[in-house]
Amino acid sequence: MPLPGHAALDLGPRTLVMGILNVTPDSFADGGLYDDVERAVQAGVRMAGEGADVIDVGGESTRPGAEPLPEDEELRRVIPVVRELAGRVTIPISIDTYKARVARAAVESGASIVNDISGLQYEPALGAVAAETGAALILMHTRGRSRGMYERAQYEDAPAEVARELEAAIARAVDAGVRRESIVVDPGLGFAKRAEHSYDVLARLDALASLDRPILAGASRKSFLKRALGERPPADREWGTAAAVTASVLHGAHIVRVHGVREMVDVVRVADLIRAARDSVRAPQS
């Protein structure tokens, strides 16, 4: 996948790990930990040292029920972190935003990937930003805004419906001028999906293979894991996250988005070898 200012990302030989860097006071998993620029940059540098392949910087919490963040405040939070981090790590930086102005400023400051949770539904102009800057574009599946997303969590066949709606998102991006080879799809585990929908989508992640685009899976510490783990705070869901990350790799994810980089790099490396062994058995004998 081509990236502006970076070597192309090689998606396929091994699963890539995207480290989550939330510079927010109210993120569900780590709100307030990195709401200071230097602390955030140090955390990003640490993630790179622990084996992250990409760092995803976000300034607005999009957890269910979250209030929208004013654009100027989002810029204030993320741009100094992106700019400083770009000068201190060699791996690509992603900006987690659905706002066109924030995305453009972040790419100008050193980001090379735009991670849009709305799949170009909230601000279609974001597609033009990705096209003009050459940034890679991650299109996530969701329905509605954060405050009312669960009201639209109604599916007959969640994996098939997610695939169809992501296909429409790809069409929106291509119509805006984004190159198809610059697009990644994300099924949006936990977004506009109840727990049973997220497990169904994860179990049938390969339903997205028909889109012929790389797949990003983000299960880290999400509330759907409570269906298996019971009530516990997000930081205590790492073992559940490890299981979901393993399933993501085995079912075809090219990138996994995680909070605990050091731990999940180990999980991914083992899962990659399991997948490789499985695929070698399935391969036809010559």
Q: Which of 104, 143, 193, 222 is catalytic?
A: 222
Is 222 a catalytic site residue?
yes
Do 140 and 191 meet the contact criterion of CB atoms below 8 Å apart?
yes
Any catalytic annotation for residue 262?
A: no
Q: Which of these is catalytic: 143, 193, 204, 257?
A: 257
Q: What's 215's DSSP letter? A: B
Output the CA torsion 265→268→272→274 (10° steps).
Answer: 130
Closest-CA residue to 134 (of 161, 113, 155): 113
| Residues contacting 260, CB < 8 A, separation 6+ | 220, 238, 241
Please give the full DSSP string across 114-142, using - where no structure is assigned.
EEETTTTSS-THHHHHHHHHT-EEEEE--
> Would you name the residues annotated as active-site residues?
222, 257
